[in-house]
Amino acid sequence: MQPSPYTPGEVARTVPGRASQLADIDERLSAMVDLGRLVGRIRVDHAPRGFGKTSLLREYQRRAVARGAITAWVTAGESQGLIAQIGAAIASATASLGDEASTRLLDRIESLKLTIGAPGIAQASATLNGEKVQEPVGVRGFEAVIREAASYGAGIVILIDEVQAADEAGIRTLVYAWQHLQAEGADIPAAVFAAGLPNAPEVIASVVTFSERIAYRRLGPLEQEAEEIALVGPARALGVTWTREAVANALSVAQGYPYTVQLIGDATWAAAGRPDPGRTVGVDDVERGRIAMRDDLEALFRARWAQSAALERRMLSAMAARGDDPVSRADISADLQIPTNHLSSPRGRLIDKGLIQSADRGMLEFTIPGFAEFVRDQEGG
């Protein structure tokens, strides 16, 4: 008996299928570490819940560490605000260095906290690209912290998870500071990599206008080959093989959704009796696994459903009733007999929660495989 190598609901140990993202990051890290340059654009990978954002960001962090950079990880949304969170993360990442310079850095972080904590002065005027602008307080202090932190090791990499939950002032300060560093042609080895829900671009754009400073990247479902690697790889490392047919059946359950890949892998592993080295996982195991995992997936769906308001549910039901493919807003509006403009707020909330997303030509679609089917089962219930 061997424990399951799968990670439903946990950060993935490896991130198959994310080669292009990792190639981008490797390139940025290389410019940062080898050339000592600022990574000028803040990167934001965005996707609905369960698509592997946190796992990907952790992999970025591992790569940054492997190159000798200092990393500061924050999960945005705490009451102290994004900038104070980043300050604290930088402080703890550098505390162990314990020399004179790190004392200087800690002092800077403390004074930054005082600046942004001071009530009543949210803005200060400054000149940016020759234009007079109102700029958030704390930008200069934050910049100083970044400059100082970047002098350690191979540079500083700030990782921000759940960026859509960050406070407005924090986002503004971060983006302005980055804009300054960039405009000053600063040779500062520093980077910001962030991840968030699909509404992250909208949230950020509502706070700062210069969106060209930010590289938004949509994180999609896994390609079939990546799913296969995610299923077969961890088993093989334990000396266990999946039959071809078993893999095919598991893939048809997962449909490219990373969380479900792990769920079906894990449930199949248990159904196969947590196999010893030399054993094989077959279709019967997958079938029993599929039945066993249904409760977990349903629990996830039920929680999402319970968190949706009445009109949101009606909208989900109308979409689901039309099948699993993208649905036009006009069709939803006609089915519900509610004008399209009345649907824009529930639509926005469902997108913010990552339950639906916009597809081509103003169409809407479900994000999580199996959710439409679940919604159809709720009819009348």
Which does residue 40 touch among ligand ATP, Mg ion, none (CB within 5 to 8 A, set by kind)? none
Whole-number Cα distances in Å, 323 to 152, 163, 171, 345, 370:
54, 32, 39, 23, 11
Who contacts 85 (Cβ-Cβ below 8 Å, separation ≥6)?
A: 74, 76, 78, 170
Which does residue 142 touch among ligand ATP, Mg ion, none (CB within 5 to 8 A, set by kind)? none
Stretch of residues binding ligand ATP (CB under 6 A), selected from 28-36, 122-130, 257-265, 289-297: 257-265
In the complex, minimum distance from the CB of residue 161 to Mg ion, in angstroms, rounded to a whole number: 6
**153 and 67 Cβ atoms separated by less than 8 Å:** no
Which does residue 7 touch among ligand ATP, Mg ion, none (CB within 5 to 8 A, set by kind)? ligand ATP
Does 75 bind Mg ion (CB under 5 A)? Our answer is no
* Rounded (10°) angle between helices 100-117 and 82-95: 170
Which does residue 189 touch among Mg ion, ligand ATP, none (CB within 5 to 8 A, set by kind)? none
Q: Backbone phi, then psi, for 142, in 5-degree steps? A: -70, -40
Does residue 56 sit in helix, strand or coil?
helix
Binders of ligand ATP in range 38-67 (CB under 6 A): 47, 49-55
Binding test (CB under 5 A) with Mg ion, winner from 22, 24, 54, 215: 54
In the complex, minimum distance from the CB of residue 224 to ligand ATP, in angstroms, rounded to a whole number: 12
Binders of ligand ATP in range 220-249 (CB under 6 A): 222, 230
In the complex, minimum distance from the CB of residue 354 to Mg ion, in angstroms, rounded to a whole number: 10
> What is the C-alpha separation between 252 and 105, in angstroms, rounded?
52
Considering the complex, state which of residue 59 and residue 285 has its C-beta at the smaller distance from ligand ATP: 59
Does 349 bind ligand ATP (CB under 6 A)? Our answer is no
Does 17 bind ligand ATP (CB under 6 A)? Our answer is yes
Strands 156-161 and 241-242: unpaired
* Contacts of the segment 206-209: beta carbons below 8 A, 24+ positions apart: 207/168, 207/171, 207/172, 207/175, 208/171, 208/172, 208/175, 208/176
Number of residues engaging Mg ion in binding (CB under 5 A): 2
Interacting residues with ligand ATP (CB under 6 A): 7-12, 15-18, 47, 49-55, 222, 230, 258-259, 261-262
